[in-house]
Amino acid sequence: MVTTHYPKQHCLYCNVAFDAASEVWEEGKRPKPDDATICIACGGLMIFTEGLGVRKPTEEERKQLERDVKVQHAQMALAHTKGWKRQ
């Protein structure tokens, strides 16, 4: 697993600070603009921007991401790790 470090920023949902991202599906891949990322603290979906900042996904992007089985698996794994319950 490759971890990419970048300047510290904050989750747009829970405000937790983060400064790195790890690819969990494609070995060796590093984030690039328009790639999705999931906050490890709250599970919030964000999109990388130029310079590896983040923005919230548009409504259409959010719907597409929520239908993506890789995103669903990542969120389930995170929920399992955090002990979150399904609603």
Chain contacts with Zn ion (rule: CB under 5 A): 11, 13-14, 39, 41-42, 44
- Please report how close the Cβ of residue 43 comes to Zn ion at its closest, in angstroms: 7
Enter the tokens of residue 36. 């999705």
Do you know the residue count of the chain? 87
- Please report how close the Cβ of residue 68 comes to Zn ion at its closest, in angstroms: 19
Q: What whole-number distance in Å separates Cα of residue 78 and Cα of residue 76? A: 5
- Please report how close the Cβ of residue 82 comes to Zn ion at its closest, in angstroms: 11
Instruction: Give the residue with the Cβ less far from Zn ion, 21 or 27.
Output: 21
Measured in whole angstroms, the distance separating CA 7 from the mean position of its chain's CA atoms is 16
